[in-house]
């Protein structure tokens, strides 16, 4: 009896040790770089891994971001899909699918990754296959959202600056083709990320969490792939958006001056110009979307450039007093914020969208009022 009792105690103690060991790892959030080993275990591995912020500030921020992001993007999708905002079918398709990809970014990168790690650290999603898949889906959603913004900017550039090409390119059918191509390419481009992770700990034959393999840092091919990933998202998109917007502004200024001279010669007095008014509204929407995108991604780009210039590694701690950690987390927080700002832009720049939004907000109250009556 004594031996049996001692055996049970040993098993119970062993289980407690294993559980505490797992919790120690699972309390760390999962992001693209994988979770970080605790300070006392850093000598075991020299891999570059990122430990995201995990505290009340981050919990409050990401909870608010998830709530607003899901509601804002769902409302945007519903309103724009109805086609009552006075926008062309081509523009509407771009804006709808931009909202869809932003919604997926909130689901994968914020809810399934950051919030899951904060509120539900021990779950099926913490296993290596699951967290690897979440990382791939998150990166694919992010890249799709980024390049759809570029595609929309290019579409508006063609519509404003290339009148002959406008009739052939700026169509709903062509927009659907571009959107499909962007989704497929962005998804395929991020598939290799699934194979760069290994389990941090295996308990009862179950692999837990994602840790970047040593091969990823020692292989020239993977280093090239990592650089291409950073360049393709977001460095190249930012350059393209700035270039296209600069060309668009240049064309508009020249066309506006020429049009004003012609109208002054023909009419002899100033009159409202429907064509210029339409262009003005289109430009405001374009610049608001692309400007918001660049500003919210700027911190992320600055951090990437600082790391490359200093020949440093990415922040591998979770020290809130470390300037590099603060810069890194600020970049991620603003980057994710860009996935739920377009609704505010539409409400601020599009009168008909604002009217539809007011109707959507009032609808639940009207429904409750009718039920009570």
Predicted confidence (pLDDT) per residue in 257-268, tens digit: 777 777 666 665
Q: What percent of the chain has pLDDT over 70?
A: 80
- Paired with 146 in beta bridges are none
Confidence grade of residue 108 (pLDDT, cut at 50, 70, 90): very high
Q: In this predicted structure, what is the pLDDT of residue 273?
A: 67
Q: Which residues contact 233 (CB under 8 A, 6 or more apart)?
A: 142, 143, 146, 147
With CA atoms as reference, report the closest residue to 37 among 326, 314, 316. 316
Phi-psi region at 202: left, alpha or beta (left = phi > 0; alpha = psi -120 to 50): beta
At residue 71, the 3 state secondary structure works out as helix
Q: In this predicted structure, what is the pLDDT of residue 187?
A: 95
**Range 312-330 average pLDDT:** 71
Cα torsion angle, 280, 181, 149, 254, sign: negative
pLDDT digits (tens, 9 = 90+) for 62-105: 999 999 999 999 999 999 999 888 888 999 999 999 999 999 99
CB 194 within 8 A of CB 133: yes
pLDDT digits (tens, 9 = 90+) for 33-72: 343 333 333 333 333 445 556 778 899 999 999 999 999 9
**Range 181-196 average pLDDT:** 95
Q: Which residues contact 102 (CB under 8 A, 6 or more apart)?
A: 69, 73, 145, 339, 340, 342
- DSSP single-letter state for residue 28: S
Q: Is 332 exposed, middle or buried (0-12, 13-18, 19+ CB in 10 A)?
A: buried
Structure tokens at 15: 């289980």
CB 105 within 8 A of CB 73: no
Cα torsion angle, 64, 68, 69, 70, sign: positive
Confidence grade of residue 210 (pLDDT, cut at 50, 70, 90): confident
CB 188 within 8 A of CB 140: no
Confidence grade of residue 314 (pLDDT, cut at 50, 70, 90): low
Q: Which residue has the higher pLDDT, 60 or 325?
A: 60
With CA atoms as reference, report the closest residue to 347 among 356, 337, 339, 338. 356
Side-chain half-sphere CA neighbours of 201 within 13 A: 18
Structure tokens at 2: 């004594």
Q: Which residues contact 337 (CB under 8 A, 6 or more apart)?
A: 65, 296
CA distance 236 to 241: 9
pLDDT digits (tens, 9 = 90+) for 36-46: 333 333 333 33
Q: In this predicted structure, what is the pLDDT of residue 264?
A: 66
Neighbours of 314 (CB within 10 A): 14
**Range 215-239 average pLDDT:** 88
The answer, yes or no, to whether residue 20 has pLDDT greater than 50, is no
Q: What percent of the chain has pLDDT over 90?
A: 38
The tokens 């720049």 sit on which residue? 349
Q: In this predicted structure, what is the pLDDT of residue 348?
A: 83
């Amino acid at each position: 009896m004594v031996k049996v009792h001692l055996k049970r105690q040993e098993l119970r103690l062993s289980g407690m040790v294993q559980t505490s060991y797992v919790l120690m790892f699972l309390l760390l959030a999962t992001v693209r770089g994988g979770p970080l080993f605790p300070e006392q275990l850093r000598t075991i591995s020299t891999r570059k891994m990122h430990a995201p912020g995990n505290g009340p500030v981050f919990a409050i921020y990401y909870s608010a971001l998830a709530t607003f992001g899901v509601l804002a993007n769902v409302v945007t999708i519903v309103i724009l899909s109805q086609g009552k905002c006075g926008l062309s079918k081509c523009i509407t398709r771009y804006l709808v699918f931009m909202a869809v990809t932003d919604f997926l970014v909130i689901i994968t990168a914020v809810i399934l990754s950051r919030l899951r790690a904060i509120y539900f650290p021990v779950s099926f999603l913490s296993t290596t296959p699951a967290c690897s898949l979440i990382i791939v889906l998150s990166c694919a959603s992010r890249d799709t959202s980024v390049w759809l913004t570029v595609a929309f900017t290019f579409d508006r550039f063609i519509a404003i600056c290339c009148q002959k090409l406008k009739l052939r390119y700026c169509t709903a059918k062509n927009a659907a083709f571009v959107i499909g191509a962007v989704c497929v390419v962005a998804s395929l481009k991020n598939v290799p990320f699934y194979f760069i992770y290994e389990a941090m700990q295996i308990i009862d034959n179950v692999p837990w969490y994602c840790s970047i393999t040593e091969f990823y840092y020692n292989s020239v091919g993977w280093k090239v792939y990592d650089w291409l990933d950073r360049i393709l998202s977001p460095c190249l998109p930012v350059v393209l958006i700035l270039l296209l917007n600069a060309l668009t502004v240049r064309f508009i200024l020249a066309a506006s001056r020429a049009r004003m001279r012609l109208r002054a010669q023909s009419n002899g007095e100033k009159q409202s110009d429907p064509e210029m008014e339409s262009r003005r509204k289109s430009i405001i929407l374009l610049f608001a979307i692309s400007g918001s995108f660049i500003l919210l991604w700027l911190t992320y780009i600055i951090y990437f450039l600082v790391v490359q210039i200093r020949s440093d590694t990415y922040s591998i701690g979770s020290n809130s007093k470390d300037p590099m950690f603060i810069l890194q987390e600020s970049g991620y927080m603003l980057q994710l914020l860009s996935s739920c700002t377009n609704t505010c832009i539409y409400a601020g720049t599009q009168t008909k969208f604002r009217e539809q939004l007011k109707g959507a907000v009032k609808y639940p109250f009207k429904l409750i009022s009718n039920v009570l009556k």
